[in-house]
Amino acid sequence: MKIFVDTSIWIEYFKNQPEIADKIDKGLLSEIIYMVGPVISEILQGAKTESDFESLNNSIDGVPFIETDFADWRLAGELSFKLRRKGLTIPITDCLIAAISINNEAFIYSLDQHFKQIPDVKLTEMLE
């Protein structure tokens, strides 16, 4: 099982929100949590200070990383195109995270409601 933890969850994790921190810690120990490029960028851009940036940067180094390839970018564009035709505008970063998860048969753990609108995305609320 692979789970991509979205930025919305990492924010709560780094705030030490107990329920989420417990789930993430268990998932990390079970080696089912993976990091993707867009989430790394979103996490790092949210740092408030140089010290926070370094701490976040060091923290994400320990999480296994899934590379983004051409097929992921293509699928992200396709998802965005099809959603826009239905009147839904989803941030391209979320479409890319969704595409990577679809192509890697992974679940997404997120507080972001956008993912519920993207076809073929598998969401999870619990890490076991």
Beta bridge partners of 124: none
Query: pLDDT tens for residues 12-66?
Result: 999 999 999 999 999 999 999 999 999 999 999 999 999 999 999 999 998 999 9
Residue 128 has pLDDT above 80, yes or no: no
Question: Domain-by-domain residue ranges, the chain?
Answer: 3-123
Which top CATH class is 3-123?
Answer: alpha beta
Residue 87 has pLDDT above 70, yes or no: yes
Q: What is the pLDDT of residue 127?
A: 54
Listed as own residue / partner, the contacts of 92-97 with beta carbons closer than 8 Å and 24 or more positions apart are 93/38, 93/41, 93/42, 94/118, 96/36, 96/37, 96/38, 96/68, 96/72, 97/4, 97/6, 97/36, 97/38, 97/39
Q: Average pLDDT, whole number, for the chain? A: 94
Distance CA 80, CA 100 (A): 14
Q: What is the pLDDT of residue 125?
A: 82
